[in-house]
Amino acid sequence: MESTVGASPNDKIGFRTVWLIFVACVAVSMVIAAMASLNTAIPDIAPAVQANSNQVTWLIDGYTLTLAALLLPAGAIGDRFGRREVLIGGLVVFAIGSLLPIWVSDPTQFIAARCLTGVGAAFVMPATLSLITSGVPDAKRPLAVSIWAGVAGVGGIAGFFVTGVLLEFFSWHSIFLTFAIAAAATAALSCTIATSRDSTSPRFDWWGSATSALAVALLVFALIESPHRGWFDPLTLIAFVAGIGLVALFWYSQLHRPEPLLDVRLFRNRAFAAGSFSVAVQFMAAFGLFLVLLQYLQLVFGYSPLKSAVALFPMVIVVMVCSLIGNWIAVKVNLRIILAAGMFVMGVGVMLIGLIHHSEYWTVAVCLIVFALGLGIATAPSTTAIMVNTPADNQGVGSAINDTSRELGSAIGIAIAGSLLASGYTRDVSATADTAQAELRQTAAQLESAGQLGQAQEVAAAAGSIKEHITNTLAEALQVAERLAPGQPELANSIADGAKDAFIGPMNTASITLGALSIVAAVLLAIFAPNRMEPVAEPDRVADSARS
Per-residue pLDDT reduced to its tens digit, 455-500: 777 767 777 677 777 887 788 888 888 887 777 788 888 888 888 9
pLDDT confidence of residue 4: 38
User: Which one, of 273, 327, 267, 274, lies nearest residue 523 by Cα?
Assistant: 274
Q: Give the rounded percent of residues in the chain with a pLDDT score beyond 90.
A: 29
The predicted model gives 319-348 an average pLDDT of: 87
The predicted model gives 542-548 an average pLDDT of: 39
> CA 278, CA 283: separation in Å to the nearest integer?
9
Query: CATH fold of 2-205+259-423+505-546, please?
Result: Growth Hormone; Chain: A; (1.20.1250)
The predicted model gives 506-510 an average pLDDT of: 92
Residues in Cβ contact with 109 at an 8 Å cutoff, skipping those fewer than 6 apart: 100
Q: In the predicted model, what is the mean pLDDT of the chain?
A: 84
**How far apart, in Å, do the first and last CA atoms of the chain sit?**
7
Nearest 5°: the CA angle 315, 321, 327 is 120
Task: Give CA 260 to chain center in angstroms.
Answer: 28
DSSP code string of 360-389? SHHHHHHHHHHHHHHHHHHHHHHHHHHHTT
Structure letter (DSSP) for residue 102: G
Count Cβ atoms below 10 Å from residue 468 Cβ, excluding itself. Answer: 11
Torsion of CA 247, 250, 255, 259, to 10 degrees: -140
Determine contact, residues 268/528, Cβ cutoff 8 Å: no
Helix (H, G, I), strand (E, B) or coil at 544: strand
Count Cβ atoms below 10 Å from residue 302 Cβ, excluding itself. Answer: 9
Per-residue pLDDT reduced to its tens digit, 254-264: 888 888 888 88
User: Which one, of 138, 144, 133, lies nearest residue 83 by Cα?
Assistant: 133
> CA 76, CA 63: separation in Å to the nearest integer?
20
Torsion of CA 482, 487, 488, 492, to 10 degrees: 0
Q: What is the pTM of this model?
A: 0.84
Task: Give CA 500 to chain center in angstroms.
Answer: 26
Per-residue pLDDT band for 434 (boundaries 50, 70, 90) equals confident
Q: How many residues does the chain have?
A: 548
Q: Give the rounded percent of residues in the chain with a pLDDT score beyond 70.
A: 92
Per-residue pLDDT reduced to its tens digit, 336-376: 999 999 999 999 999 999 999 888 899 999 999 999 999 98
> CA 149, CA 456: separation in Å to the nearest integer?
60
